[in-house]
Structure 1
Amino acid sequence: MSKIDVFVAPRPNPALIRAMTSVNRIVMLHGIPGFRDLLPFNRLAGLRGVANVRHIAFPDADLERLKASCGAGKATFITPNHPEFFTDWMIDKEIVSQVSPLTASWATNGVVNGLGRLMQKFWLANNLIAQIPGNSGAAKEHSVAWALKGHGVLLHPEGGVGWHANIVAPLLSGAVEMGLEALKRGRATDPDFKVWIAPVVWKLAFTGNVEAALAKECAYVEKSLNIERHATDTLPQRIHHIYSTLLTRDEAAWGMPSDEGQTYAERQQGLIIELARRLGESISPEAAITDTTELLRRARRWQRENTGDAEGQKQVRTLADAVQRLQRVGPWASANPRITQEEIAEHLKRIRNDYCRGGLRDTMNRFIPQPAGPRCAYIRVPEAIGLHAYAGSIDDAVAELHRRMQETVTSTVTELAAKGSFIFYPNPFYRR
C-alpha cells in the first residue's frame, strides 16, 4: 500500500486542540469584527471568516440534549449531516468543542495522509481518523477503543458531500456497527454500559441577498465549461441550461441519443440506466444488478480484486465515476416549484466540483469552497438512539437514524422559510 492508504492512529494534543478551537471560531467561521465587512479586508478569507459563518444558532435545549449523550461511562458516536465540504469540519469542531472536546473525527485519507508528513502530524494531533477506502478495519478498531474511553467519535453517515442541505442522503451503517461493538465490549465489564448514536443536523442560510455574487460565480462556470449564456435567462434558468448542456455532452460521449423533448430528469435517468447496465456487464456479466448503490459497491470491490486488469480497471472506473456523478443531481432537484439562493449556490458548487478542473482556482474551490456571502448556521439535535435499549437490526437502526435526521432537517427548513430567511425563485427543474 502507498502511504496515503496506511492507517496511522491519531495522537491527540489537547493544548493544540484547544488553540485550534479559537482559531476555528475566529478565522474559519466568524471572521474578525471591524474587518469582515470593510473593503478590501472582506476579500481576505482569514479576516472575513473562511467559511463566512457569521452566526451560529444552537438552542440551549439542543446543546443540552447532545451533552446528555456524551461523557464518561458511555460510548458516543456523533453523526452530523454532510451538506457542505470544508465548512463541515469547522462547524463540527465548534459543536464538539462544547460537548466533548477530545472527540475523534473521521476524515478522508486524502486530507489526513495526502498532504505531506507535517500536515499528517498536524491532523493526527487534532484527532482526525483517516478513512482508508476498502480497508477501514484499523480505523474502526481505533474508533471503538476511543469511544470506550468516554470520548466521542464523529463521522458523517452520509459519506461524501452531495451539496443538498435539505435532503439527507442514504446512510452508511458504520456508526451503528461500531456502536454495537462498543456495547458488546462495554457490557463485558459493566452490565449498565450505554452506547449512543447522537445525530446532529445543521442548515446554512445566507444573511442577505447574494444574487449578484451567485451570478458572478455562474458566469465563471459558464466560461470555464464553454457554455453560452442565453441573455434572457434568469439565474436558475442559467443553472438548468448548464446542466442540460453537460448532460447533452455526456450523452454524446457515451453514444446515447439526446431527446430534447424530455425533461432533464428523464434524460438523466435514461443515461444512468444505460451506463449502469454497461457497468454491470463489465463486473458481473452473469448477474443483473438493478440497484445502483449495490452496483457501485460491487464495482469498488471489483477494482480492488482485479488490479492486474489495467484495461478493465479503466473501463469500470470510468463507468462508475459517470454513474456516481450523474446521480448527484437527485429527484430532490425537481421536487419543489421554488428554489432558494442556498440551493442555487449548492448547484454551482456541485458543478464546479464535478466538472471544472482547469487549474489552481478550481482545485482550491474543491478543498476550500468559498460561499457567496455571509451565512448563519442553524444547528439542531434530534433525539439520540440508545443502542443499549434498541432491539432492532442494524438496518432498522440506520433507517431510524435517517428518519430522525431528515425530519429535523425538514422542520428546520420549514421554520426558516416561515420566518422569511430564504429568497425564492421559480424552479426550472420542477415538473408536476
Structure 2
Amino acid sequence: MTPVNRALMLKGLPLLRDVPVLNRVAGIRSIANVRHIDFPDADRARLAAVCGERRATFLTPNHPEFFTDWMIDKEIVSKVAPLTASWATNSVVNGLGGLAQKFWLANNLIAQIPGNSDSARRHSVDWAVQGKGVLLHPEGAVGWHGDWVAPLLPGAAEMAVAALAQGRVADPAFEAWIAPVVWKLVFLHDADAGLRAECAYVEQRLSIENIDRDATPADRVYAIYEALLARDEAKAGVAPDRAQPVAGRLEALIVDFSQRLADLIGTTAVPGRPELLRAARRWLRSSSGDGATTAQAVKTAADTLQRLCRLGPFAWADPTMTQEQAAEHIKRIRNDYCAGTFRDNLNRFVPQPVGPRRAIIRVPAPIAVHDFRGDAEGMIDELRRRLQSALDGINADLSNAGGLRSYPNPFFDQSGFGIF
C-alpha cells in the first residue's frame, strides 16, 4: 500500500496534479495534498536505530490533523518499520462496515475501544516485543492545533514498561524505546483565498450573519467562535456579555458545565476536566438502570463540555495567527459544529485542505525506557517536553526563513483562562 498511499493520498499524480480542473480532483492532486515531505536522513536514521529485533519500540507522533495523520504515519513507518501496528479509533476500524473492517485489520490497525482496551494493550505489547513496532498518538483525539502538544495519555509509557518486563524474561539485554515523532504541515503558497472561501461556507452552514466579508480569515474565525459561544451561553441560560473577551466567557461556561456534569453523575467535587469527562463516560457505560432522561442529560453535558474545551490557550498564545493555524481553527469548527449533510460527514473523515502543503517531519531523541530513572508518568512528561521542543524548533526555523504567512491574532492577550 505504500506506493498507493504516497501517490493517491499524499503527493498526487505527477504532471496531472498541476493541470487546471484535474487538479481539483482529490484522487489526482492527492487527498491530503501534501506535495513535499521533508524527512531528513539524520532523523530517519535516529528512528530506525531504535526499531527492530531485541527491542520493543512505541512510536508516538503528534496528532494535528485527521486522515492525514495515518497517511503520514504510514509514510514514516514504511522507511523504518513497515510491519508496525497502529492504534486507531474504534469508529474507524469497526464502524464503517465489515468490508472496511477487514481492510483496516489487514493494514494492522488496532481498535481503541473506550473502557475495553485490555486486549488491544496485550496485543500491542506482544507485537512490540517481537521487534515490529507499535504506533499510537499519545494526545488521543485530534485537536487541530499543530503547534501545541496537548496533555498526553499514559498508554505508550505503560505498554513500554510492560514490554520491557516481558522481553527481559527471555533476554536480559532486551530494550524498550518510546520514539517521539513530530510533523507540521505548511502551505506552499498564499492560502488566503481558500481560507476565505471555507470561512464563507462555515458561516453560511451555521447561519452566522453580520460578519465582515473583507475581514481576514483570523478575524472571521474569531467572529464565528464568538457567535457560537453566545449560542452555547444562551442554551445554558447564561446571558452573553458580548463585550467581554471570548477566553473569559469560555472559562465561565466550562466551569458551569463542569459543575452541572458533576452534579448529574453524583461527584462530590468538580475534578480536573479530563478526569471529569472520563468519569462521565464511565457513568454512561454503566447507567442502564438510571433512566433515559438522566443519561441523555449526562451525554449532552459531557459532549458540550468536551467541545467547549477544544478551544484552548494555544489560540491566544501569540500576537499573530498563521494561515496554517487559521485553517486548523476552521477545520475544528467544521468537525465540532457542522453536521447532517453528506459534505459535512465526508469532511469529518476526509477533511480537504485549501491548498498544497509541505510536511516537515522531525524525530527528537527517543526515550530509553530501560535506562529511564522514573515512572511512567515521568516518561510521559518527558515525551511531551521533547515533542513540544521539536515543534518549537520547526517553527523557529520557519519564522527565521520567512516561511509563514500570518494575520494579527484577535484572540491574543485574553487573560484569565485557567482551566488548562
Q: Same fold (TM over 0.5)?
A: yes
CA contact (8 A) 2:87 2:111 kept: yes
Q: Which amino acid aligns with 1:322?
A: T
Give the CA deviation at 1:361: 0.1
Alignment partners' CA distance in 2, 1:235 and 1:403: 31
Q: Which residue of 2 aligns with 1:234?
A: 216
- For the pair 1:180 / 2:180, whether they are aligned, the reply is no
Partner of 1:147, secondary structure, is helix
Distance in structure 2 (CA, Å) of the matches to 1:195 and 1:87 = 28
TM-score normalised by L of structure 1: 0.94
| Paired position in structure 2 for 1:17 | none
CA deviations over 1:21-71 (Å, ceiling 9, x no partner): 110000000001111111111011011011000000001111000001100
Q: Is the 8 A contact 1:224 1:358 kept in 2?
A: no
Q: Please, what TM-score do these two structures have when normalized by structure 2?
A: 0.97
Match of 2:387 among 379, 399, 405: 405
Q: 1:185 to 1:129 in 2, by over 3 A?
A: same
Secondary structure of the 2:239 match is coil
Kept in 2, the 8 Å contact 1:69–1:76? The answer is yes
Residue 430 of structure 1: how far off its partner (Å):
0.8
Q: Summarize the alignment of residues 12-411 of structure 1 with structure 2, pairs less than 5 Å apart.
A: 20-228=1-209, 229-285=211-267, 287-309=268-290, 310-411=292-393
User: Which residue pairs with 2:418 in the alignment?
Assistant: none
Matched residue SS, 2:59 = strand
SS of the equivalent of 1:300 reads helix
Amino acid at match of 1:408: A
Aligned to 2:417: none
Query: Residues of 2 paired with 1:134 and 1:171: CA distance?
Result: 18
Cα deviation, 1:301-356, whole Å, max 9, x if unaligned, reads 11122123222211111111111101111011011110000001001100000001
How far 1:134 moved relative to its partner?
0.9
Deviation at 1:98, TM superposition (A): 0.3
Alpha-carbon distance between aligned partners in 2 of 1:26 and 1:168, rounded to the nearest angstrom: 29
C-alpha displacement of 1:231: 4.2
Measured after TM superposition, the shift of residue 259 of structure 1 is: 1.3
Q: Which runs of 5+ in 2 are unaligned?
A: 415-420
SS at match of 1:203: strand
Cα–Cα, structure 1 residues 188 and 307, in superposed 2: closer, same or farther, change >3 Å? Answer: same
Deviates more, 1:161-170 or 1:30-39: 30-39
In structure 2, relative to structure 1, the CA distance for the partners of 1:70 and 1:251 (3 Å cut) is: same
Deviation at 1:257, TM superposition (A): 1.6
State the partner residue of 1:431: 413
Kept in 1, the 8 Å contact 2:230–2:242? The answer is: no
Give the secondary-structure state (helix, strand or coil) at the position aligned to 1:379.
Answer: strand
Q: 387, 404, 409: which one pairs with 1:422?
A: 404
Deviation, structure 1 residue 230: 2.2
Letter in 1 for 2:91: G
CA offsets 1:191-214 (integer angstroms, 9 cap, x no match): 110000001000000001011111
CA drift of 1:391 comes to 2.0
1:231–1:374 Cα change, 3 Å: closer
Provide the residue aligned with 1:4 in structure 2: none
* Cα separation, 2, equivalents of 1:117 and 1:332: 39
Rate the CA distance shift 1:251–1:78 in 2: closer, same or farther, 3 A.
same
Unmatched runs of 5 consecutive residues or more in structure 1: 1-19
Residues 112 and 129 of structure 1 are in contact (CA less than 8 Å); yes or no, is this contact kept in structure 2? yes
Quick one: distance in 2 between partners of 1:316 and 1:372?
37
In structure 1, what residue type is equivalent to 2:94? N
Report the Cα distance in structure 2 between the residues aligned to 1:251 and 1:383, rounded to whole angstroms. 45
Counterparts of 2:401 and 2:363 in 1: how far apart (Å)?
20
Question: Quick one: which amino acid aligns to residue 128 of structure 1?
Answer: L
CA displacement at 1:232 relative to structure 2:
4.6
Alpha-carbon distance in 2 for matches of 1:117, 1:365 = 22
Query: In structure 2, what residue type is equivalent to 1:334?
Result: W
Specify the code of the residue in structure 2 equivalent to 1:269. E
Alpha-carbon contact 2:12-2:27 (below 8 Å) kept: yes
Matching residue's letter, 2:145: H
Shift of 1:405: 0.5
Contact (CA 8 Å) 1:104, 1:153: kept in 2 or not? yes
CA–CA separation in structure 2 for the residues paired with 1:235 and 1:53: 22
Post-superposition offset of 1:90: 0.2
Q: Following the alignment from structure 1 to structure 2, what is the Cα–Cα distance between the partners of residues 373 and 401?
A: 32
Contact kept in structure 2, 1:197 and 1:384, CA below 8 Å: yes
- Equivalent pair of 2:216/2:407 in contact (CA under 8 Å): no
Contact in 2 for aligned 1:200/1:380 (Cα 8 Å): yes
Tell whether the 8 Å contact from 2:138 to 2:153 is kept in structure 1 after alignment.
yes
| Deviation digits for residues 261-304 of structure 1 (CA, Å, limit 9, x no counterpart) | 3100000001000010111111124x212311111111111112
Return structure 1 stretches of 4+ with deviation > 4 angstroms. none
Q: Is the 8 A contact 2:335 2:348 kept in 1?
A: yes
Partners of 1:313 and 1:135 lie apart in 2 by 20
